[in-house]
Structure 1
Amino acid sequence: MTQQPQPPVPYEQTSDYRWTEAAFHLLESGSLTASVAASDNISSAVVEGVCPRCVHHFTDRRPLTAVTNGLGGSRAGVPGSGGTALVEPAGAYPPVVLDITCSCGVPHPTGPGAADASAAGGCGVSFRIELAADHGPLGGRP
């Protein structure tokens, strides 16, 4: 007997805490990964894996450092740095908190009886991931 594919879960805009808990368990199992990388004093984060609600694969990439024009602005909250240097003492990295919304790209129906109604951007779930102060990759570790 072959198993029929399940239809996508309906779109629902939700940020219920249970999805953050589910994302944590996915990080522990390695089905979801999160990391922060820095290059030339520019930090960015990548969260990749399965959505805790719809279980479709997604990748979320985002910059964490603001780049300024270098004319007296600030960069990454360091006033007066002029956009030329990111100054953080060794070991002083604060935790990184990421609010993620499913961006799986799979059409999710928006409700019963809706003609051709679908949300192609994701299933609507939002959840939070907090990366530890060392900013190392999470997920897939025993």
Structure 2
Amino acid sequence: MTQQPQPPVPYLQTSDYRWTEAAFRLLEAGALTATVTARDNIASAVVDGVCPRCAHPFTDRRSLTAVTNGLGGTRAAPGGGPGLAEPVGAAEAVVLDVTCSCGVPHPTGETGAAADATAVTGCGVSFRIELAPEHDPVGGRP
């Protein structure tokens, strides 16, 4: 007997702390990974795996280095042009606030009607991942 796929959970905009706890368990189990890398003085983060609420796969990529106009508190670019703010250092914890971006249409409203697939970016859950200083990538897939 084959199991029928379950319908997506309804869209719900939430940042309840239980989703951060669920994300931590997924990191420990290897179903979710979080990495921070620095290259050419630009830091970036990638969170990849399954959403702690809807269990759909997603990838969240973001830059952690702000491009600035070169005024105050930045490192000037060669030639005196716009600079880059210093990337997150190895001595600082990195906190990532992540929102599900699975792209799967989730039912909305009290009618349970499916959302317009072009407007959906996830199930609505937001959670936090904190990476300790001098960390190795967290999580992983076997």
**TM-score > 0.5, shorter chain as reference:** yes
Query: Which residue is equivalent to 2:39?
Result: 39
Alignment of 1:1-142 (within 5 A): 1-70=1-70, 72-75=71-74, 81-82=75-76, 83=83, 86=86, 93-113=91-111, 115-118=113-116, 120-140=120-140
Structure 1 vs Structure 2 CA RMSD: 2.5
User: Unaligned regions of 5+ residues in structure 2, if any?
Assistant: 77-82
1:140 match: secondary structure = coil
2 CA distance for matches of 1:130 and 1:25? 13
1 CA distance for matches of 2:125 and 2:42? 28
Indicate if the aligned counterparts of 1:97 and 1:130 stay in contact, CA closer than 8 A: yes
Please report the TM-score for the alignment, with normalisation by the length of structure 1. Answer: 0.83
Question: Mean Cα displacement is larger for which, 106-115 or 59-68?
Answer: 106-115
Tell me how far 1:120 sits from its aligned partner. 1.8
Please report the TM-score for the alignment, with normalisation by the length of structure 2. Answer: 0.83
Sequence identity of aligned pairs in percent? 72
1 CA distance for matches of 2:7 and 2:87? 49
Tell me how far 1:50 sits from its aligned partner. 0.1
The amino acid across from 2:48 in the alignment is: E
Query: Which residue is equivalent to 1:78?
Result: none
